[in-house]
């Protein structure tokens, strides 16, 4: 049974539906998952299927051959609390980034709607999961947040915890090299969920500062269309802050 995904040709601005093969479409149908690019492959993890069942599989699309395969992952039994062991439980609303050949997933919502604060890495060369135990102050459990890679760090922003009813606006920065969390308080922005963010590094010959750009999202029942940039050495300077409420 063929499955489909779409791509956009930048010059023509035309969407194209792609016929893919491999894993059946019913096994790929999902929402609340993550997807990232690694070695010309799209790596998809987790989410929930059309029957609202949470998923913990890793599906890989070869972008040259347009073929899906399920990665055979290994690790100790799910739910292990031992650092360096275990596989992540099924979840949705998590974040995923790639750094030096490994996928890092953080948080999300697990069984019974329980929000998570665990951090796992997956070696994409051999399918080995590792449960990490970073030092420092870990961010609170959350889902529907964003995470991006900036240099040798992962920046986590936003999300919410339905148990406490709290939404978040601070930054949590994880160092891949030192395996350490750092919390950064911020001002001038609104807490949010379901938003997007990108990191823009310095360009050669440019005076532009490095910056985390955040756009849109949701605050309670209010849909947002705002954008702002976090920049500066203290990581607390907000620029380009414009706010539009979409009702």
Q: Report yes or no: 156 and 108 within 8 Å, Cβ to Cβ.
A: no
Q: Report yes or no: 200 and 217 within 8 Å, Cβ to Cβ.
A: no
pLDDT tens, per residue, the chain with 247 residues: 455 555 555 566 788 888 899 988 778 889 999 999 999 999 999 999 989 999 999 999 999 999 999 999 998 444 444 444 589 999 999 999 999 999 999 999 999 999 999 999 999 999 999 999 999 999 999 998 989 898 899 989 888 888 887 777 778 899 999 999 998 776 666 677 677 777 776 654 444 446 777 766 666 655 555 555 565 444 433 333 333 333 2
8 alpha carbon, distance to own chain's centre: 22
Go through 103-125 and write b for each residue having 16 or more CB atoms within 10 A of its CB, e for each that does not.
bbbbbbbbeeeebbebbbbbebe
- Residue 55 token pair: 């998923």
CA–CA separation, 148 and 195 (whole Å): 12
Length of the chain: 247
């Amino acid at each position: 049974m063929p499955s489909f995904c779409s791509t956009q040709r930048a010059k023509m601005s035309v969407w194209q539906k792609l016929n893919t093969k491999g894993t059946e479409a019913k096994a790929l149908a999902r929402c609340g998952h993550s997807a990232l690019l690694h070695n010309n492959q799209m790596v998809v993890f987790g989410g929930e299927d059309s029957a609202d069942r949470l998923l913990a599989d890793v599906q890989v699309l070869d972008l040259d051959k347009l073929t899906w395969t399920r990665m055979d992952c290994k690790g100790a039994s799910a739910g292990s609390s031992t650092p360096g062991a275990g596989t992540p439980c099924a979840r949705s609303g998590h974040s995923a980034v790639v750094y030096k050949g490994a996928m890092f997933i953080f948080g999300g919502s697990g069984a019974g709607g329980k929000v998570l604060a665990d951090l796992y890495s997956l070696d994409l060369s051999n399918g080995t999961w590792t449960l990490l135990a970073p030092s420092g102050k870990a961010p609170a459990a959350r889902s529907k947040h964003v995470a991006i890679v900036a240099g040798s760090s992962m920046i986590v922003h936003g999300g919410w915890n339905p148990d406490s009813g709290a939404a978040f606006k601070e930054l949590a920065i994880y160092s891949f090299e030192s395996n350490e969390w750092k919390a950064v308080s911020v001002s001038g922005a609104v807490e949010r969920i379901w938003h997007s963010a990108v990191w823009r590094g310095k360009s050669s010959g440019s005076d532009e500062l490095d910056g985390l750009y955040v756009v849109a999202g949701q605050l309670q029942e209010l849909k947002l269309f705002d954008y702002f940039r976090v920049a500066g050495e203290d990581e607390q300077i907000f620029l380009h802050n414009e706010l539009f409420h979409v009702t």
